[in-house]
Structure 1
């Protein structure tokens, strides 16, 4: 697979209707909201999780404990990360005697490359490939005391938090259930619960793809095929992530700025400023549909959901 040679910056719009796009576990799973502006928030971690889930659907593994490269997912549900790191270390350094710091550094590098080749999400987003077992300072580096790591991998693809373009509100709904959980509650007619939703919100996130960090020699080996899969994931990931909590979530616009080379032609912020939005109806009324907005590129509307713009 060929590594990418161009830098990319992109703007990503998605919306939610009658759902909770990203609950805050520290606030009773309320939708994340900026306390000062009232704007809705969705973390970059949440978006990356959906990309990983999309890969697991489109490129499934027969055995998640023994995944096959190059489409395996490192950070997945119930995964033991240290086990995967140690397994890659043992596979790439089998039979080697590691006594010096230099030999250990080479072993870590071979482990890093092996895991980048094997796991799509490491190749894309990066990872910290370290175990919690610490070797004792000053002692020889042998198999019994060795800390088997792959170092730190900087991923070429990075995302920002998504912010709603206008303030949102979080609604609390009381819900009832006719069944009970425990025997002791049999005499109760029903049980009660709560559900939180955002009536409507249009969210905007930004992303960056570095060709230098994708380079196969010194980077992760993120390829043109990996890039195509990532663009597909960004467009389709919500279609495979439905739940009662999330309501209706949809990708609305993905505008990609493709630079001429790895270094890039222009600063990202100048490109992002070319993508704007405006209301199509009375701004004093709350938006409840995507048709209440228009997304503009250089002041003009465009029909495509996925649009690539060459940066000159």
Structure 2
């Protein structure tokens, strides 16, 4: 597989319409919010889950990862962190595949004393599992220690462009669960929490130097970008309403270490309200009489393409 040679930074814009993009279990599953500003939040963990699910769907027909030694493997696309997965069982496969013997006293919980053998375990996990070589993983468990891997791809929390105002919708159930419930009024009340509309922005980073350590390749990078553009199309549910990726703006550096700070590149992407075709900053006091946004066209996204730092290309993937 072709080794990743370039650093990348990217801006992801996605929207939610009449849905809950990321419920907070500590707040009755209300949409996550910054308590001081009332801006909406979507965790990086939520976004990574959607990427994992997409890769699982896209690569599901390929042969699964096997228990072969590392040198007999290509890059596989199994997902390490899956629902109800027993991670120790997956990590034990790395020991078996590489014929690494457990410690006589501490068993599989202690990494081999030889660095080369310990490295085989984490390398095997990277070669088999897309999410390990992409996001990294803490695999230093007692059941089967495979060390820790720092992933080359990192995502921030997504934050809404403007404050959100979650709505609480009351719903009723007309069917009975048990026969006893049919003796009275079987209707029960429930609630759904939605964001009528929200445009969210997240930032992402791909380190070519860390990619060298995990084996994250050019093909993996293309699959990641494909997932970021398409992941919401395969994550539909009544609770999430309509979610969609609206823009993926990528800054490509011509070297592994990069040619400009990420924050300076991100500042080139500005989002404002569309007022009769005119761009207005979201904190412009003149927006007081403008109706709340309810669709993507209520915003204008501007990208400063002029005088980009030498060695940096701007690519719009959507």
Q: What range describes the TM-score normalised by the shorter chain of this pair?
A: 0.7 to 0.9
CA contact (8 A) 2:65 2:76 kept: no
Any idea what the Cα deviations from partners look like across 1:210-247, whole Å, max 9, x if unmatched? 000000xxx10000000000000000000110000000
Pairing partner for 2:226 from 226, 232, 240 = 232
Equivalent position of 2:126 in the other structure: 116
CA distance in 2, matches of 1:286, 1:97: 61
CA distance in 2, matches of 1:162, 1:104: 41
Pairing partner for 1:127 from 137, 143, 147 = 137
Alignment of 1:144-155 (within 5 A): 148-155=144-151
CA contact (8 A) 1:180 1:191 kept: no
Any idea what the Cα deviations from partners look like across 1:7-59, whole Å, max 9, x if unmatched? 00001100000000000011111100111101000000000000000011111
Q: Say if 1:225 and 1:70 are closer, same or farther in 2 by CA, change over 3 A.
A: same
Equivalent position of 1:262 in the other structure: 256
Any idea what the Cα deviations from partners look like across 1:241-261, whole Å, max 9, x if unmatched? 000000000100100000010
Give TM-score scaled by structure 1 length.
Answer: 0.86
CA distance in 2, matches of 1:203, 1:107: 44
CA contact (8 A) 1:236 1:251 kept: yes
Q: Does 1:168 align with 2:178?
A: no
Equivalent position of 1:17 in the other structure: 17
Question: Per-residue deviation at 1:129?
Answer: 1.1
CA contact (8 A) 1:72 1:118 kept: yes
Any idea what the Cα deviations from partners look like across 1:120-172, whole Å, max 9, x if unmatched? 00010000112235xxxxxxxxxxxxxx3111100000000000000001110
Pairing partner for 2:198 from 201, 209, 229 = 201
Equivalent position of 2:82 in the other structure: 76
CA contact (8 A) 2:5 2:256 kept: yes
CA contact (8 A) 1:89 1:149 kept: no
CA distance in 1, matches of 2:64, 2:268: 43
Most deviating of 23-32 and 185-194? 185-194
Question: Per-residue deviation at 1:93?
Answer: 2.6
Equivalent position of 2:49 in the other structure: 49
Q: Say if 1:297 and 1:273 are closer, same or farther in 2 by CA, change over 3 A.
A: same
Q: Say if 1:178 and 1:101 are closer, same or farther in 2 by CA, change over 3 A.
A: closer
CA contact (8 A) 2:133 2:215 kept: yes
CA distance in 1, matches of 2:89, 2:129: 14
Q: Which runs of 4+ in 1 moved over 4 A?
A: 61-69, 96-102
Give TM-score scaled by structure 2 length.
Answer: 0.84
Task: Number of aligned residue pairs: give it.
Answer: 285
Question: Per-residue deviation at 1:192?
Answer: 1.4
Equivalent position of 1:89 in the other structure: 95
CA contact (8 A) 1:108 1:151 kept: yes
Gap runs ≥5 in structure 2: 68-72, 105-109, 277-286, 307-312
Alignment of 1:179-190 (within 5 A): 179-187=175-183, 188-190=185-187
